[in-house]
Chains A and B, each alone.
Chain A
Amino acid sequence: MADLEIRDLTVEVDGSDILRGVDLDLDKGKTIALMGPNGSGKSTLAYAIAGHPAYDITGGTIRWQGTDLVELTPDERARLGVFLAMQYPVEVPGVSLTNFLRTAVNATSGQDVPIREFMQRLRDEMAALDVDESFLQRSVNEGFSGGEKKRFEILQMALLKPQLAVLDETDSGLDVDALKTVSEGVNRLSGPDLGTLIITHYTRILRYIAPDEVHVMFEGRIVASGGPELADELEARGYDHLKTSV
């Protein structure tokens, strides 16, 4: 059995079917890419894994190391090592970034990390991701540019050390330099203890983060699966041909 095992997952939003029976496996140590046109249901899958309250799971299972996540609250999932780097991170006014990160690290690690040790780790990770120290004085995502928000998502990933990372369009809105920095950040975190699901519309992030498998979603189902070469094929032919093939 794979570490992440999604079976026949169906999800509704506001009464309309978005996912119509998704099967997907991901093992720790692997990176897979989920591609597809806008509206195909990629982000819905990401949110369903994380437990977003607006997404109704109407059927199927999302098992993570044997536990069905569907029954768990978002914070319980996060404490099991599930992490979602969001496509549009929300600004949370008044909640200081430092306090938020420390609370999250303590909650997911189950330990009260001493403040000095925590700040040292935070400064190191910020330096690695080229995030300015002045961010320590700010509120969560408040006044961040699109690129800064994406970097901050990866910074959180680095601090929380998840075992399953879902990156939802982390590449969108990043210029080439930022994309490189963020990709290097993700690669540095990769290893035998991390499974990564990269959700993307374009292939450009896959030039920096090499996937082991590529899956293509269309109208709420996985319609094609293959190796990295599948991404190249999509790059060459686009998504339009999917519409005729299904």
Chain B
Amino acid sequence: MTTPTVTPVGTTLDGLTEDAVRAVAAGEPDWLVDRRLAATKRFLDQAWPDSRTDEFWRSTPFAKRFDTSHPLIAEASSDAAVPTSLVASLELTTAQLRIVDGEVVEASVPAELAALGVVVTDLRTAAEEHADLVRDHLGSLTTSGEGSGADEDRTISVNDAAWTAGAFIHVPAEVELTDPIGVHVHVSRAGAHLPRVLAVLGHHAKATIYLEHTSDEGVDALVDEVVEVIALDAAKVDVVSLHEWAMGVSHLALHKFGAHRDAQVRHSAIVAGGATVRLRPECDLLGPGASVRPLGIYYADEGQWFDLQPYVRHLAPKATSDVLYKGALQGRSRTVFRGNVFVHKDAVGTVTDENNRSLILTEGARADATPFLEIECADITAGHGSATGQIDARHLFYLEARGIPRAQALRMLVHGFFREVLTEIDLPGVEERALAHIERELAATDLDRLGINDAALRDELG
């Protein structure tokens, strides 16, 4: 079969119509077109989020941070300056897929992996060649309603209706991959970009996926991304999401996992770039014994707004979740952490914990944190907490008293703040990449102006 060519669709997100969606869907099988049109109906019935009325948007002004009047982009610019992805830089023999400006420009699977039945391909192609899998799972975590996360939010239905370029990953049952699969989304053209990812792991399969996001400097774009990952019984999936946009990009992202019996999910977000990133790493724990570990590292600088909303739903007994997000802020920047853990009345034996820590380095930055728990079941173990603070003057004094100059001591303490998360993301190249972001941000700040919390010093007066 051939991959259908995408014709320019000539619509903005605001002006999305059935006709425009039909143009995006040109050449796709009927069942897929029908699904898109159903999503279009939802889209047309909905409004964009309103920060005055929508609880989940209370902290982030949608209209100010996301421009929905952008034209939909579905074709790669020929002169896009696509940087080498982290996965490509590791020089592994692994599968990679690249989406540039709403178009899949490259998808490759080495013969060894293809022989195992591993699929990494354009989602449109997959809709033909792996129709059963795509049919079963595409949209299963965003649109199926009862029990599995119907979304009232236009930011999701717009992607369900009009995603332009998609990645499909299938790791068959009992296939365990060691090297990460790379999915690289790059933006070089101003406008609205709607990338989509669907990954399905069969029972006892194991895979790591690096989802990388980059853009050309100075490009003004809105990226509305939906990622669905289905981990069937006892599958193990590790997703690393690197947000390395240049300043012109605003990113809406839903990364949603369905974890079946005994499946293990880990999502590690490293958020460093972009004007606005609103990331929803979500997981439905659907089967007994499933577990999820949402991890996050973020570092916001002048003008950046990061809104992080991990959401875990315990829908089955004896599942575990442990959320840990740590962020630093400097300049006039803003971060929002709104974590939520829902425990269904049948989810007996749930073990859950949820933590957020923010380190405010300079004046003018603001961090909001609300770790929620919604519990319908009594027989569980649950914890949650958040703390926002500055560099602890006691720590600083201890290092300085050993001869370490202030600037170096501060750098060590910021690294130390992130260490807990970094140590855990033991995947090739990721720690180095995160450290490089931390170093770059530290280099951009005036260490003499860092706020120091000296209230704690009083504790040790004697």
Chain A residues at the B interface, C-beta cutoff of 8 Å: 13-14, 38-39, 43-44, 50-54, 73-75, 77-79, 84, 86-90, 92-96, 99-100, 103-104, 107-108, 139-140, 156, 160
Residues of A within 8 A of B416 (CB): 92-95, 139
| Cα distance A93–B394 in the bound complex, in angstroms | 12
Question: Are B398 and A160 closer than 8 Å at their CB atoms?
Answer: no
| Cα distance A38–B393 in the bound complex, in angstroms | 25
- Out of A14, A51, A75, which one reaches B409, CB within 8 Å? A75
Residues of A within 8 A of B404 (CB): 75, 103-104, 107
Q: Which residue of A lies closest to B462 (CB)?
A: A43
CB distance from A52 to the nearest CB of B (A): 6
Interface presence of B458 (CB below 8 A): yes
Beyond A78-B403, A93-B420, whether A140 also contacts B398 by CB under 8 A is yes
Question: Are A160 and B460 closer than 8 Å at their CB atoms?
Answer: no
| Cα distance A99–B392 in the bound complex, in angstroms | 19
Question: Are A92 and B398 closer than 8 Å at their CB atoms?
Answer: yes
Interface range on chain B (Cβ under 8 Å from partner): 20 to 34
- Out of B402, B415, B458, which one reaches A107, CB within 8 Å? B402
Interface presence of B7 (CB below 8 A): no
Question: Are B399 and A92 closer than 8 Å at their CB atoms?
Answer: yes
Residues of B within 8 A of A73 (CB): 400, 406
Residues of A within 8 A of B409 (CB): 75
CB distance from A150 to the nearest CB of B (A): 14
Beyond A104-B403, A160-B403, whether A90 also contacts B457 by CB under 8 A is no
Question: Are B460 and A88 closer than 8 Å at their CB atoms?
Answer: yes
- Out of B393, B398, B400, B405, which one reaches A89, CB within 8 Å? B398
Residues of A within 8 A of B412 (CB): 95, 99-100, 103
Q: How does the 8 Å CB contact mask read for B422-462 relative to A, with 1 for contact and 0 for none? A: 00000000000000000000000000000000100110111
Closest 8 CB pairs of A and B: A94-B416, A94-B419, A78-B403, A104-B402, A108-B403, A107-B403, A95-B416, A74-B400
Interface presence of B48 (CB below 8 A): no
Question: Are A14 and B403 closer than 8 Å at their CB atoms?
Answer: no
24 residue pairs from A and B, CB less than 8 Å apart: A13-B461, A39-B462, A53-B457, A54-B454, A54-B457, A54-B458, A73-B400, A74-B401, A75-B403, A78-B402, A86-B401, A90-B394, A92-B395, A93-B416, A93-B417, A93-B420, A95-B399, A96-B419, A100-B412, A104-B402, A104-B403, A104-B404, A107-B404, A108-B402
CB distance from A149 to the nearest CB of B (A): 11
Interface presence of B144 (CB below 8 A): no
Given A51-B400, A52-B397, A54-B461, output 7 extra A-B contacts at Cβ < 8 Å. Answer: A74-B400, A75-B403, A92-B398, A94-B413, A96-B419, A100-B412, A104-B399
Residues of A within 8 A of B398 (CB): 86, 89-90, 92, 140
Question: Are A156 and B402 closer than 8 Å at their CB atoms?
Answer: yes
Residues of B within 8 A of A100 (CB): 399, 402, 412
Question: Are A14 and B395 closer than 8 Å at their CB atoms?
Answer: no
Question: Chain B: interface secondary structure?
Answer: helix
Question: Are B420 and A94 closer than 8 Å at their CB atoms?
Answer: yes
Question: Are B406 and A75 closer than 8 Å at their CB atoms?
Answer: yes
Interface presence of B298 (CB below 8 A): no
| Cα distance A107–B400 in the bound complex, in angstroms | 10
Question: Are B417 and A94 closer than 8 Å at their CB atoms?
Answer: yes
Residues of A within 8 A of B408 (CB): 103, 107
Q: Which residue of A lies closest to B392 (CB)?
A: A90
| Cα distance A39–B395 in the bound complex, in angstroms | 24
CB distance from A219 to the nearest CB of B (A): 15
Residues of B within 8 A of A50 (CB): 401
Q: Which residue of B lies closest to A93 (CB)?
A: B416
CB distance from A121 to the nearest CB of B (A): 16
Question: Are A107 and B405 closer than 8 Å at their CB atoms?
Answer: yes
Question: Are B405 and A139 closer than 8 Å at their CB atoms?
Answer: no
| Cα distance A93–B462 in the bound complex, in angstroms | 24
Q: Which residue of B lies closest to A43 (CB)?
A: B462
Interface presence of B168 (CB below 8 A): no
| Cα distance A108–B401 in the bound complex, in angstroms | 10
Question: Are A53 and B397 closer than 8 Å at their CB atoms?
Answer: yes
| Cα distance A94–B182 in the bound complex, in angstroms | 30
| Cα distance A156–B399 in the bound complex, in angstroms | 12
CB distance from B158 to the nearest CB of A (A): 40
| Cα distance A88–B458 in the bound complex, in angstroms | 13
Residues of A within 8 A of B460 (CB): 87-88, 90
Beyond A43-B462, A53-B454, A53-B457, whether A90 also contacts B395 by CB under 8 A is yes
Residues of A within 8 A of B393 (CB): 53
